[in-house]
Amino acid sequence: MKILVAIDGSKNSLRALKHAIKLAGKLSEPTQLLLVNAHDDIALRGASQFVGKDAVRSYLDDLASAELEGAIAAAQKSKVPFETRALRGQVAQTIAKAAETEGCDLIVLGSKGRTALKDLLIGSVAQRVASLADMPVTLVK
């Protein structure tokens, strides 16, 4: 079984990872985790004309590394095989597409991510992933 876990550096995304690790331990079949960090780079495209595309790319790479750091440590400690991906694009669509492209059987993500206020303004990424995905989605509080 392959489980995509969306990681944004929040406590809720780490709880989602812990849930996926616990689930992997209960399954009789081999399980692999795919830790995905997605950032919407559309807002930063305008900045690239001032600081350059390489600077924007480097910033997003550094941000993804920082947000994945705790998740990587937890996954290594669990001994469950895993891979990581740092992706760009509209977050919910990128997560759902990655799950399909990578042949995932399940998506696990935190019910709230970086900020609750942002969710109120632009809608919940978790809700959009659940509506877009063609496989089961587990939301972890």
Render pLDDT for 81-102 as a digit per residue (tens, 0 to 9): 999 999 999 999 999 999 999 9
pTM: 0.88
List CB contacts of 120: < 8 A, sequence separation 6 or more: none
**Sequence spans of domains, the chain:** 2-140
41: confidence class by pLDDT, cuts 50, 70, 90: confident
Strands (E), the chain: 2-6, 32-39, 82-88, 106-110, 137-140
The torsion region of residue 123 among left (phi > 0), alpha (psi -120 to 50) and beta comes to left
What fold is seen in the domain 2-140?
Answer: Rossmann fold (3.40.50)
